[in-house]
Amino acid sequence: MDYEHYFAKRIADLKSEGRYRVFADLERQCGRFPVALNHRDDGIHEVVVWCSNDYLGMGQHPEVLAAAKEAVDRCGAGAGGTRNISGTNHYHVLLEQEIADWNAKESALLFTSGYVANQTTLSTLGATIPGCVIFSDELNHNSMIEGIRHSRAAKHVFRHNDPESLAEALSAYPKETPKLVAFESVYSMDGDIAPIKEMCDVAEAHNAMTFIDEVHAAGMYGAEGSGVAERDGQRDRLTIIQATLAKAIGVVGGYIAGSKSMVDYVRSFGPGFIFSSSLPPMVAAAARASIQVLRRTPEIRTRHQERAATCKARLKAQGIPVMDSVSHIVPVMVGNAALCKQASDLLLKKHHIYVQPINYPTVPVGTERLRITPTPLHTDEMMDHLVKSVVAVWDELDLHKVHVKAAE
Ligand SMILES: *Cc1c(COP(=O)(O)O)cnc(C)c1O
């Protein structure tokens, strides 16, 4: 085989389909979020980032930075090993205690990313509980799908956010069969939220364990911000709460929280936990400081929701096709990969606004979109500029608009 030719051909195919991914080369500016520098062939440009998953700007919070600096001065750069072989730093222990307490669970376990947390936990449970069957929402994240696939457990996919479809799938098995139901709280591409209570009702009726991915909710929902399960009063009903330290918490890493025995089980049997070096102590210290700030600062969540609601309303008033989102995510439908890329390019080059196009395989073909994520640090002036620029791009490309009764 001519390997080089094969690689080049497959890449050329991606380009001709309009879904070749180009990364924006950014230099984040500490203290100026959401402003960043964008390095391009024609020079360095200042842009406003409107698609960051640093949802609350915690990646530059003074207490988070101070904690990281203190830890790097005390402990150095890396952890020095896997958790078992010299890599458990006291900062990891403190962070796991913080996460368990935050989620009102007995215990918590850190992973190097949210992806690894999902992949390892689901594959370990599915592979090692004899006869375990996994029930998975059809829109679950790739990290959950890969974990389930890797477990080789029997799998049923139920209709998105549909407890009846879940009940139907569960009913096919006797009560004694071990079962695990896996779903997310906030689905980040459409911005909809799972009916957690109803899902737990169904799971309990069939004696199934529940696994929830709160990656797009941790830090942002509930009185202390641990997620939608907290907001909805359902945390004690969920067997496993999973999330990331890289989105609203603003650092990097992932975790699960649950009972002492369940967490100890994944700690003892999960390859992606056991055989990988642990997070740098400075990362654990920064994440813990971030969670502590978020727990005591509900105002940041109020402001975040207000910014998202304002953004949705203002774009809708101009006829921009904002999808029905009940969360902080503002998805705008374009429906074509090439046009979506063009819209994003125009926003960046003409209007100094960075919104990455979202295309297949992240979303289905024909539903390509712009995914806007307003943060508490986006000002009214930035919002004015965003709305004007999106309208200008929609006009320039003659993109689909929705009829509006009353003008803004
Ligand atoms: C981003 C994401 C993950 C992975 O988390 P990382 O910490 O970025 O690896 C898992 N689940 C969902 C739903 C995500 O969007």
The CB of 121 under 6 Å from ligand 1? The reply is no
Q: Ligand 1 center to residue 315 CA distance, Å? A: 27
Q: Please give, one letter per residue, the 3-state secondary structure of 108-157.
A: EEEECCHHHHHHHHHHHHHHHCCCCEEEEECCCCHHHHHHHHHHCCEEEE
For tokens 């094969």, name the residue.
6
**Position 408 pLDDT exceeds 50:** no
Q: What is the mean pLDDT of the chain?
A: 97
Those residues whose C-beta lies under 8 Å from the C-beta of residue 404, and which sit 6 or more positions away, are: 316, 317, 318, 319
Do 148 and 134 touch, CB atoms closer than 8 A?
Answer: yes
**Position 373 pLDDT exceeds 60:** yes
> What average pLDDT does the segment 93-118 reach?
98
Task: Name the pLDDT band for 245 (thresholds 50, 70, 90).
Answer: very high
> What average pLDDT does the segment 69-89 reach?
98
pLDDT at position 19 is 79
pLDDT at position 18 is 78
List pLDDT tens digits, range 386-398. Answer: 999 999 999 999 9
The CB of 246 under 6 Å from ligand 1? The reply is yes
Instruction: Please give the number of the atom of ligand 1 that sits closest to the Cα of 53.
Output: 1
- Domain residue spans of the chain: 25-54+298-397, 61-296
Gap between the Cα atoms of 26 and 303, Å rounded: 26
Phi, psi of 203 (to 5 degrees): -60, -45
**Domain 25-54+298-397 belongs to what topology?**
Aspartate Aminotransferase, domain 1 (3.90.1150)
**Position 71 pLDDT exceeds 80:** yes
Gap between the Cα atoms of 144 and 281, Å rounded: 27
Nearest alpha carbon to residue 249 among 49, 32, 59: 59
**Position 406 pLDDT exceeds 60:** no
The CB of 113 under 6 Å from ligand 1? The reply is yes
3-state secondary structure of 170: helix
Give buried/exposed letters for 106-115 (b at 16+ CB in 10 A, else e). Answer: ebbbbbbbbb
Give buried/exposed letters for 72-91 (b at 16+ CB in 10 A, else e). Answer: beebeeebbeebeeebbbeb
What is the domain class of 61-296 according to CATH? alpha beta
List pLDDT tens digits, range 336-352. Answer: 998 999 999 999 999 99
Helical axes 114-128 vs 260-269, angle rounded to 10°: 90
Instruction: Please give the number of the atom of ligand 1 that sits closest to the Cα of 254.
Output: 7
> What average pLDDT does the segment 277-290 reach?
98
**Position 246 pLDDT exceeds 50:** yes
Nearest CA to ligand 1 atom 7: 114
Pocket test for ligand 1, best of 51, 115, 118, 121 (most atoms within 8 A of CB): 115
Gap between the Cα atoms of 184 and 35, Å rounded: 30
**Position 106 pLDDT exceeds 90:** yes
Residue 247 catalytic? yes
pLDDT at position 405 is 62
Q: Ligand 1 center to residue 68 CA distance, Å? A: 22
Could you tell me the end-to-end alpha-carbon distance of the chain, in angstroms, rounded to an integer? Answer: 60
Q: How far is CA 389 from CA 193, 304, 330, 339, in A?
A: 29, 22, 16, 16
List pLDDT tens digits, range 23-64. Answer: 999 999 999 999 999 999 999 999 999 999 999 999 999 999
pLDDT at position 152 is 98
Gap between the Cα atoms of 388 and 390, Å rounded: 6
Amino acid 36 reads: A
Task: Name the pLDDT band for 116 (thresholds 50, 70, 90).
Answer: very high
